[in-house]
Amino acid sequence: MSSAAVRLHIQGPHVVMDNGILQVTLSNPDGIVTGIRYNGIDNLLEPLNKETNRGIKGTTFKVIVENEEQVELSFSKMWDHSLEGKYVPLNIDKRFVMLRGSSGFYSYAIYEHLKDWPDFDIGETRITFKLRKDKFQYMAVSDNRQRYMPLPDDRLPGRCQTLAYQEAVLLVNPKMKDLAGEVDDKYQYSCDNKDNKVHGWICTNPPVGFWQITPSDEFRSGGPLKQNLTSHVGPTTLAMFLSGHYAGQDLVPKFRGGEPWKKVFGPVFIYLNSSTIKDDPFWLWEDAKIQMMTEVQSWPYSFPASEDFQKSDQRGNVSGRLLVLDRYICEQYTPAGGAYVGLAPPGDVGSWQRECKDYQFWTTADDRGYFAINNVRTGNYNLYAWVPGFIGDYRYDAVIDITSGSFIEMGDLVYEPPRDGPTLWEIGIPDRSAAEFYVPDPDPKYVNKLFINHPDRFRQYGLWSRYAEIYPDEDLVYTIGVSDYAKDWFFAQVPRKTDNGHEGTTWQIKFELKNVDRNITYKLRVAIASATLAELQVRINDPNSRRPLFTSGLIGRDNSVARLGIHGIYWLYNINVPGNQLVEGNNTFFFRQPRCTSPFQGIMYDYIRFEGPPPCNLSSS
């Protein structure tokens, strides 16, 4: 590795950061990265991508730090009322940082909306790099999601057929003939925030890797399960900060009534690596993962010059232990091993998954339920949690005030998940995903070979259409004690395609009760992993009753079916079932989803449980 000093060259309409390992060229004062020179390649970026097509442009260039160890540059665009109706009412300060001896560069941005500025929404914000298509053709998102990718030319008319939406295409005449007959869709490479730490591209000649590393989720919206795009055909690499993907408008920040706001997005790290021609170029992915761990362990970074980015000594820490008490499983407190525990802005129980304006800090509890959330920005938070294997959400009711240098020990916290009585039967696993249910093989005409025999088989295109093929005349019927949810419960309740369009579907859950207390209320708990312009109507024993026992009303804009996800926003419904509507012997719940103007409307269930009345010695909760 070179130990050359970092140099800054200002060359009129461009500025160059150079540390002897790489040179990064930015337009002045736009602050657009126009060139990255590394390992003998003049520019890793696609030269055909015009500079006018590269996002937010600054109007003022400023050198923030310039010494032999570090260069930090600012490209800012300030808003005032003379720009009303022309530009988004935000002050935007884009920063780029290069360090001595570092094989890459950092970028972050500070967004600010001042008091009494006009209303606005932010649908999406991200950093995007488009690489040279003649060099970067192998993409890696995770250990088991990497492959040679189609060229951008393969998605042009004549080489592909557009499928049910523009993002999905069938490769008909690709330049790499081996890819003919496969489907390409950028949503096949989406990733949960918690797993979205490093992804990028490999050039095999010469062996060079281009990697986008996100060392912290604190500035991302929606919590650890929020899904975002990663890399896709282009070759394109994204650092997503805000998006409504797999959530809809709930995850679009909306600023009304002159609300002031300020947020730091990043820094993220663009890491470059290389090897000799005789080495295996795919080792570069392993090296990128090692570098990702180094970046994660270095967070929060000490080098950003902006005072808006709090350093480690300005932050606080919270620790404790989370226990679960479900007396119908165990009379004792049990450790909430693997629980997701986080600090997010104060709000209702579970509000963190729709929170998109401020910062969130998450960790997972160890096997004994102990957790530590370190390096939290100062401010007021609620502590939230959810526990795999249990329904519902936990919130510690008191607001937690994080101050610089604070170490707050919460002690033992107890989550009592919703429960009124013993489990009579259950379907699925309460883990906020529909992955355990039956995911069919794709239509052989619409396959991405990467996902054949893959744990993420739900990423295949067109699985929604398989429902009508498997259930051509009658809807799904699930019999407790006989059916197996891994084989007999379709992963999504979608409309059935008919000759005239689509129709709603009614699924049946058949179960037997030997004894019924007609004076007691039973409880049906329905946890939903995702919903898209859907409605759940529940009836008991009479599918034609005019009024359902329960209706959710119209819910969800996740679009997880079309976006090839297996979860989105989590919903939990606790439904009272009067004992006088049950019978001794055979009973049937009818789950109807009537909304059917699109094939992508529907519900992905997480978990369903039917509870009996509590024994006399246990009170209900």
Task: Share the mean pLDDT of the chain.
Answer: 95
Which pLDDT value is given to residue 266?
96
The pLDDT tens digits for 286-330 are 999 999 999 999 999 999 999 999 999 999 999 999 999 999 999
Number of structural domains found in the chain: 3
H/E element, 273: strand 261-274
pLDDT band at 616, cuts 50/70/90? low
Q: What does DSSP assign to residue 487?
A: H
pLDDT band at 51 (very low <50, low <70, confident <90, very high): low
> Which pLDDT does position 276 carry in this prediction?
84
CB 44 within 8 A of CB 132: yes
Domain contains 456: yes
Residue with the bigger pLDDT between 53 and 422: it is 422
Residues 465 and 395 placed together within one structural domain of the fold: no
Same domain, yes or no: 201 and 243: yes
88-92 long-range contacts, CB within 8 A, separation 24+: 88/120, 88/122, 89/113, 89/117, 89/118, 89/120, 90/120, 92/56, 92/58
| Residue 53 pLDDT | 55
Residues 381-389 have a mean pLDDT of 98
**Does a structural domain hold residue 516?**
yes
Given a contact cutoff of 8 angstroms between Cβ atoms, the answer to whether 159 and 151 are in contact is no
321 and 293 both lie in a single domain: no
Cα–Cα distance for residue pair 567/225, rounded to 1 Å = 9
| Residue ending a domain, choose from 390, 415, 440 | 415
Q: How confident is the model at residue 617 (pLDDT cuts 50, 70, 90)?
A: very low
pLDDT value of position 397: 94
C-alpha distances in Å from residue 373, one per residue of 340, 377, 382, 437: 11, 11, 13, 33
Task: Say if residue 92's pLDDT is above 90.
Answer: yes
Confirm if 581 and 497 have CB atoms less than 8 A apart: no
Alpha carbons 592 and 529: distance in angstroms, whole number: 17
* pLDDT band with cut points at 50, 70 and 90 for residue 396: very high
Look at residue 617 and tell me if it is in a domain: no
Are 394 and 455 contained in the same domain?
no
Q: What is the CATH number of the domain that holds 499?
A: 2.60.120.260
Region 68-85 average pLDDT: 95
CB 365 within 8 A of CB 322: yes
Say if residue 458 is in the same domain as residue 388: no
CATH, residue 368: 2.60.40.1120
pLDDT at residue 278, as a whole number: 76
For residue 558, count other CB atoms closer than 10 A to its CB: 30
Under DSSP, is residue 121 helix (H, G, I), strand (E, B) or coil?
strand
pTM of the model: 0.95
DSSP state of 614: P
Query: How is residue 477 written in tokens?
Result: 């019927």
Q: Residue 384: left (phi > 0), alpha (psi -120 to 50), or beta? A: beta
Q: Is 581 exposed, middle or buried (0-12, 13-18, 19+ CB in 10 A)?
A: middle
Q: Domain containing 518: what range?
A: 423-611
Same domain, 212 and 331: no
Q: Check whether residue 371 and residue 477 sit in a common domain.
A: no
Within a domain: 616: no
50: pLDDT confidence band, cut at 50, 70 and 90?
low
Convert the pLDDT of each residue in 482-531 to its tens digit: 999 999 999 999 999 988 899 999 999 999 999 999 999 999 999 999 99
Half-sphere exposure (Cβ direction) of 38: Cα atoms closer than 13 Å: 29
Q: Same domain, yes or no, for 353 and 474?
A: no
Same domain? 221 vs 346: no
134 domain-assigned? yes
Query: What mean pLDDT comes out for the span 245-261?
Result: 94
The answer to whether 384 and 373 are in contact (CB under 8 A) is: no
Model confidence over 533-583: pLDDT tens digits? 999 999 999 999 999 999 999 999 999 999 999 999 999 999 999 999 999
pLDDT digits 0-9 by tens, 117-172: 999 999 899 999 999 999 999 999 999 999 999 999 999 999 999 999 999 999 99
CATH code, 208:
2.70.98.10
Amino acid 615: pLDDT: 81
Which whole number is the average pLDDT over 276-283? 83
At residue 48, the pLDDT reads 77
Co-location of 90 and 13 in the same domain: yes
Final residue in a domain of this structure, among 415, 434, 449: 415
Note whether 240 and 319 are same-domain residues: no
Instruction: Give the number of C-alpha atoms closer than 13 A to the C-alpha of residue 399, restricted to the C-beta side.
Output: 10
456 and 531 inside one domain: yes
Whether 476 is covered by a domain: the verdict is: yes
Q: What is the pLDDT of residue 55?
A: 77
Name the more confident of 366 and 56.
366
Regarding predicted confidence, which is higher, 229 or 618?
229
Q: How far apart are CA 442 and CA 106, in angstroms?
A: 41
**Smallest Cα–Cα separation from 149: which of 80, 70, 212, 204?**
204
Tens of pLDDT along 7-47? 999 999 999 999 999 999 999 999 999 999 999 999 999 98
Q: Does residue 135 lie within any of the structural domains? A: yes
Last residue in a domain, options 298, 321, 355: 298
Residue 203 lies in a domain: yes
What is the C-alpha R_g of the chain? 26
Percent share of the chain, pLDDT over 90: 93
More confident residue, 279 or 186: 186
